């Protein structure tokens, strides 16, 4: 298992400050670099890795430390993570001393608050067996297993790198946490992809899947559902179905796809910014390639990064201000059709708040007219209003409306597209010459909406074939 300690400092940890902090274990420890120099590792006798220290990250977006750590910090500040292996008891103290020394030199705070120290940690008696880095706790032929204990598991640069390595080696990424841990929206999206898994420790059943509730067992080098002998089906953990301590709110989810011509004048992020402003009355505040989100919102910088990475896709995270919980994941891909943006914008509301569903159709109209909309699916689900996911049963997303852009309407044929064989009457959007179509699917959280959506999409596919 690994233990994380984070230094949050108002001043940049320069080379001298980092070197002073890395001598927290005395001069007998060895140093090495990993991840193209982005990570410094402290090694004990025999080469055992004890602590990994990531490159400091300048966070300029308000609210990130509070969102991910429950600790308010005034921006801007520098976020420096030290990750200790619990295979060696002294390693956790060493990580705390690394961060405590940074705070002593630069000011600031540490998470967890009681982890910081400036003492030299004696690690001379560390056993020498073991290799690798403390980022991954168990590696088998089938899985890369990481144990994490922090308030919110976020899609950090470290976690994203582990995921890429696991994919390249054809292993599943499996994150094991205590039951009080939650996932950020971005981390949930990552762990919901097959074959990745969120494994939750439970005193009653041992382990269960935090997203499906299936009881798990360690089998063939990975956590997998424990199937019953009688039916061959997975059982659901009791902890997963218990009523949560605080009532669930609702989440409004907008899945938006746009396609743009690939030219020098292209500016990405416009559809997302328009949707964000329309639904929350304010634009996004920050963006980045991982969490914590560290850069102020800038469509120009976002576009420049995607252009530099092309033809490889870019995966981005966008957050909003503290007034309304909102978060988006963005995937930018260069294809034969142009530059495609896939946006999933999620907005949180308390249980007693009214959703601004009357804004959906006007937003769809704007996206059709000015942002090359391909499709937009609007859904509502019962879930936490702060957009994190606890290992408890939540409601599935229920579709509310579906919008089809002008290009696909033209390819299918307007007369065919607007007459699905279900009780849905679409509205034309945009210009009469090349309209898009907006399909209302019923009232919010109407379970019959799934059948209507399936009827509409099957009808549209038939017209396109």
pLDDT tens string 164-185: 888 889 999 999 999 999 999 9
> Do residues 258 and 374 make contact, with C-beta atoms less than 8 angstroms apart?
yes
DSSP 268: T
Among the ranges given (26-40, 266-280, 309-323, 354-368), the one the predictor scored with the smallest mean pLDDT: 26-40
pLDDT for the residue 131 = 42
pLDDT for the residue 1 = 46
> Any idea which residue has 């009232």 for tokens?
443
The yes-or-no verdict on residue 273 having pLDDT over 70 is: yes
pLDDT for the residue 28 = 67
pLDDT for the residue 354 = 95
Sheet holding 143-147, edge to edge: 138-139, 143-147, 172-177, 197-202, 206-209
pLDDT for the residue 134 = 46
Residues 6+ apart with CB under 8 A from 86: 1, 2, 3, 92
The yes-or-no verdict on residue 277 having pLDDT over 80 is: yes
**Tokens at residue 377, please?**
């699916």
Q: Can you tell me the mean pLDDT for 372-380?
A: 97
How large is the angle between the packed helices 89-106 and 15-22, nearest 10 degrees?
A: 150
Q: How far does CA 116 lie from the centroid of its chain?
A: 28
Of 220, 235, 170, the closest CA to residue 196 belongs to 170
Among the ranges given (12-26, 302-316, 345-359), the one the predictor scored with the smallest mean pLDDT: 12-26
pLDDT band at 130 (very low <50, low <70, confident <90, very high): very low
Whole-number percent of the chain with pLDDT over 70: 93
Q: Can you tell me the mean pLDDT for 445-462?
A: 93
How large is the angle between the packed helices 360-370 and 270-280, nearest 10 degrees?
A: 160
DSSP string, 308-360: HHTTS-EEEEEE--TTS-EEEEEEEEEETTEEEEEEEEEEEE-TTSPP-GGGH
pLDDT band at 135 (very low <50, low <70, confident <90, very high): low
**Tokens at residue 167, please?**
């994919």
pLDDT for the residue 133 = 44
Q: How far does CA 376 lie from the centroid of its chain?
A: 21
Among the ranges given (192-206, 234-248, 267-281), the one the predictor scored with the smallest mean pLDDT: 234-248
Instruction: Give CA–CA dist 422/459, Å, rounded.
Output: 9
pLDDT for the residue 380 = 97
Among the ranges given (22-31, 133-142, 324-333, 335-344), the one the predictor scored with the smallest mean pLDDT: 22-31
pLDDT for the residue 127 = 47
Among the ranges given (13-27, 77-91, 149-163), the one the predictor scored with the smallest mean pLDDT: 13-27
Instruction: Give CA–CA dist 193/81, Å, rounded.
Output: 26
pLDDT for the residue 189 = 87
The yes-or-no verdict on residue 355 having pLDDT over 90 is: yes
Q: Can you tell me the mean pLDDT for 340-353?
A: 96
Domains belonging to the chain, first-starting first, are 2-115 (3.30.310), 138-241 (3.100.10), 249-464 (no CATH)
pLDDT band at 136 (very low <50, low <70, confident <90, very high): confident
Among the ranges given (11-25, 320-334, 402-416, 418-432), the one the predictor scored with the smallest mean pLDDT: 11-25
pLDDT for the residue 124 = 58
At 404-450, the pLDDT tens digits run 999 999 999 999 999 998 888 999 999 999 999 999 999 888 989 99
pLDDT band at 18 (very low <50, low <70, confident <90, very high): confident
- pTM of the complete model: 0.90
Q: In the beta sheet, which residues pair with residue 206? A: 202
pLDDT band at 114 (very low <50, low <70, confident <90, very high): confident
Q: Can you tell me the mean pLDDT for 189-214?
A: 93
- Identify the top-confidence range among 28-32, 297-301, 423-427: 297-301
Residues 6+ apart with CB under 8 A from 375: 255, 256, 257, 402, 403, 404, 405, 408
pLDDT for the residue 27 = 61
DSSP 197: E
């Amino acid at each position: 298992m690994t233990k994380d300690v984070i230094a949050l400092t108002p001043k940049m940890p320069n080379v001298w400050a980092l070197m002073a902090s890395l001598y927290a274990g005395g001069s007998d420890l060895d140093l090495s670099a990993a991840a193209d120099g982005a990570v410094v590792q402290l090694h004990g006798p025999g080469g055992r890795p004890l602590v990994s220290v990531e490159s400091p990250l300048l966070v300029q977006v308000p609210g990130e430390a509070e969102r991910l750590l429950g600790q308010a910090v005034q921006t801007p500040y520098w976020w420096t993570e030290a990750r200790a292996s619990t295979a060696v008891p002294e390693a956790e103290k060493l990580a705390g001393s690394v961060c405590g020394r940074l705070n002593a030199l630069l000011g600031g705070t540490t998470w967890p608050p009681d982890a910081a120290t400036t003492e030299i940690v004696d690690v001379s008696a560390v056993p020498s067996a073991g290799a690798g880095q403390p980022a991954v706790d168990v590696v088998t032929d089938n899985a890369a297993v990481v144990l994490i204990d922090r308030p919110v598991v976020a899609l950090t640069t470290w976690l994203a790198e582990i995921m890429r390595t696991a994919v390249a080696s054809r292993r599943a990424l499996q994150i094991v946490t205590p039951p009080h841990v939650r996932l950020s929206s971005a981390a949930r999206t990552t762990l919901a992809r097959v074959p990745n898994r969120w494994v939750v420790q439970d005193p009653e059943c041992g382990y269960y899947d935090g997203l499906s509730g299936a009881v798990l067992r360690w089998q063939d080098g990975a956590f997998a559902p424990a199937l019953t002998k009688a039916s061959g089906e997975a059982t659901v953990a009791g902890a997963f179905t218990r009523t949560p301590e605080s009532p669930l709110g609702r989440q409004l989810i907008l899945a938006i796809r746009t396609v743009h011509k690939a030219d020098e004048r292209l500016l990405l992020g416009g559809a997302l910014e328009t949707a964000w402003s329309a639904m929350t009355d304010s634009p996004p505040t920050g963006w980045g390639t991982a969490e914590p989100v560290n850069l102020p919102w800038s469509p120009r910088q976002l576009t420049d990064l995607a252009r530099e990475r092309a033809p490889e896709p870019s995966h981005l995270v966008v957050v909003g201000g503290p007034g309304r919980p909102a978060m988006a994941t963005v995937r930018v891909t260069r294809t034969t059709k142009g530059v495609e943006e896939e946006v999933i914008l999620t907005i949180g509301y308390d249980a007693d708040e009214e959703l601004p569903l009357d804004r959906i159709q006007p937003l769809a109209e704007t996206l059709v007219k000015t942002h090359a909309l391909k499709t937009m699916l609007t859904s509502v689900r019962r879930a936490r209003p702060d957009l994190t996911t606890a290992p408890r049963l939540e409601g599935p997303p229920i579709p509310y409306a579906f919008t089809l852009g002008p290009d696909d309407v033209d390819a299918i044929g307007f007369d065919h597209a607007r007459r699905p064989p279900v009780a849905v009457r679409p509205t034309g959007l945009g210009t009469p010459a090349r309209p898009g179509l907006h399909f209302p699917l019923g009232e919010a959280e109407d379970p019959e909406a799934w059948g209507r959506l399936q009827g509409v999409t099957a009808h549209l596919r038939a017209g396109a074939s």
